[in-house]
Amino acid sequence: MAFIEEPIRIAPNSSYLVPTGLSMAFSEDYEVQIRPRSGLAAKKSITVLNTPGTIDSDYRGEIKVILFNHGKEDFLINNKDRIAQMVLMPVIKMEFEETDNLPDTLRGDGGFGSTGK
Ligand SMILES: O=c1ccn([C@H]2C[C@H](O)[C@@H](COP(=O)(O)OP(=O)(O)OP(=O)(O)O)O2)c(=O)[nH]1
């Protein structure tokens, strides 16, 4: 069944919420991540805007892919085109504990280029 009846056109410098026609259920110990395809990025400057997109284990709606066209030409999507890739990833659950004191490290609060180029 075609869920993209008409080709989708993404203009340069624009994003589009692309329907996949897919819904899924999986264990709550996992998430699904949506990632760009490197070929589309390298050749057409098409990427996934929110990469990696998160599909929660309790989500039952249609999975959608937020594509962004960084290129100079319109990007056309037809039914069954391969526009992104999904990866099943384990989720590590943790509990937070509030404190005023963190253990010391050499780095301390240095970041954002503090170690040089
Ligand atoms: O690229 C994406 C990202 C998310 N979703 C769906 C599945 C996901 O489980 C749900 C919520 O995503 P997320 O948690 O990233 O969104 P939010 O902005 O935090 O919204 P919410 O308040 O619904 O959690 O939307 C997609 O279909 N594609």
Does the Cβ of 40 fall within 6 Å of ligand 1?
Answer: no
ipTM value for the complex = 0.97
4: Cα separation from own chain's centroid: 21
Q: Is 1 a residue whose pLDDT tops 60?
A: no
Domain ranges of the chain: 8-90
Which of 3-7, 79-83, 104-108 bottoms out in mean pLDDT, i.e. has the lowest?
Answer: 3-7
- Predicted confidence band at 2 (pLDDT cuts at 50, 70, 90)? low
pLDDT digits (tens, 9 = 90+) for 36-55: 999 999 999 999 999 999 99
The answer to whether the CB of 84 falls within 8 A of the CB of 66 is: no
**How many CB atoms within 10 Å of residue 39?**
10
CATH architecture of 8-90: Distorted Sandwich (2.70)
For the chain, first and last CA: distance in Å? 52
Q: Which residues contact 52 (CB under 8 A, 6 or more apart)?
A: 33, 34, 35, 87
Q: What distance in angstroms lies between residue 55's CA and the mean position of ligand 1's atoms?
A: 6
The answer to whether the CB of 33 falls within 8 A of the CB of 87 is: yes
Reported pTM: 0.91
Ligand 1 pocket test: pick from 49, 55, 89 the residue with the most ligand atoms within 8 Å of its Cβ.
55
